Amino acid sequence: MTTIDVSSPAVLAAKQDVADATRILAREKLIGPFGHPSVRIQGTNLVAILGDTHFAVKLLTEVGPEDVAIIDMDGVPLNPSICGPGERFIHTEIYQARPDVNAVVHAHPAYCIAFSVSDRPLQPLWHLCTEVSQGVPVHMKSIQIDTPELAADLAATLGNRPFVLLHGHGSVAVGESMATACVRQISLERAAKLQSTVDAMGGSVPIAADEIKPDDGLSVGLTQEEINAQWDYWRLEISRH
Ligand SMILES: [Zn+2]
C-alpha cells in the first residue's frame, strides 16, 4: 500500500489544480457527466484525478479539492471512499508511457468528435492552436477505455504528441503542467469548431508553415507565458462565478 502525507504542499497543489481545471473545462462545456482532468503528484508515483463522488451532490462547476481522488499507477484509490473514474487508466497509462507528461485531460467535446469521424485532418487555421500542424492522430476504437490494456493502446497512438482524438468518443490533451494540458484541450476544441465553420464556408487557407513558430519545447506557437496568461485568466473567471 502506497502511503503519502495528504496534507503535503504537493498533494494540496495537485488537488487544487484538478479542481480548477474541472471548473474551467465544465464552464467551457467540454466535460459534464463524463470527462476528467488529472495531474501527476510531484515527487510521487501517484495521480490526482477528478473523483467519482461529486455527481450526486455537485455540478462540475462547483467542485473543490475535496472532490479529487488520489490513485496509484494501477488505478487503485488511496482512500476507498473516493475513487477515480472508470476511464482512469487513460491517465495512468499515459503517465507511465510519457515521463514528460504531468497533466492529462480527457473530454468528449462535440467538434473534436466530429473531426475524429471525419476524413478531414485538422489544419492550422488559428494562431493559438498551430500545434495541429504536427498532425493530430485518431485512435480508431470507439469503446470505453476502461482497462490498462485498452489505455496502453491509446497511449501508443498518442505517441509523443500533445493530443489524440478518440474515434466517435472524444479527445485527450497532455502537457507538462495542468495549465498546458487545459489550454491545449480548450484550444483544440475551439480550433475544431473554427475549422468546421470554415469548411462549411467552402474551404480554407491555413497559416503558412513559415509563419508557425518552431517548437520551443513547450508548444508550437505558444510560449509558457502565453499558456499561463490563459490559465490565470480562466482561474480568475471561475473565482468570480
Ligand atoms: Zn471517455
User: Where do the structural domains in the chain lie, given as residue ranges?
Assistant: 9-239
User: Does the reported pTM lie above 0.85?
Assistant: yes
30 C-alpha to ligand 1 centroid (Å):
11
As a whole number of angstroms, the distance between CA 148 and CA 201 comes to: 42
Residue 4 or 184, more confident: 184
Tell me, what's the pLDDT at 221? 60
204 C-alpha to ligand 1 centroid (Å):
30
230 C-alpha to ligand 1 centroid (Å):
25
Q: Which residues contact 189 (CB under 8 A, 6 or more apart)?
A: 28, 30, 107, 109, 110, 111, 112, 171
From start to end of the chain, where are the E strands?
A: 36-40, 46-50, 68-72, 103-107, 138-139, 163-166, 170-175
23 C-alpha to ligand 1 centroid (Å):
18
216 C-alpha to ligand 1 centroid (Å):
30
CATH, domain range 9-239: 3.40.225.10
Q: What is the pLDDT of residues 122-163, one digit of tens each?
A: 999 988 888 898 899 999 999 999 999 999 999 999 999 999
169 C-alpha to ligand 1 centroid (Å):
6
33 C-alpha to ligand 1 centroid (Å):
10
221 C-alpha to ligand 1 centroid (Å):
28
Cell numbers linked to 122: 485538422
Three-class SS state of 211:
helix
Largest Cα separation within the chain, whole Å, is 58
88 C-alpha to ligand 1 centroid (Å):
10
237 C-alpha to ligand 1 centroid (Å):
26
166 C-alpha to ligand 1 centroid (Å):
8
Where helices occur in 141-200 by DSSP H, the ranges are 148-158, 178-200
Tell me, what's the pLDDT at 196? 95
Confidence band for 210, pLDDT divided at 50, 70 and 90? confident
As a whole number of angstroms, the distance between CA 171 and CA 131 comes to: 15
189 C-alpha to ligand 1 centroid (Å):
15
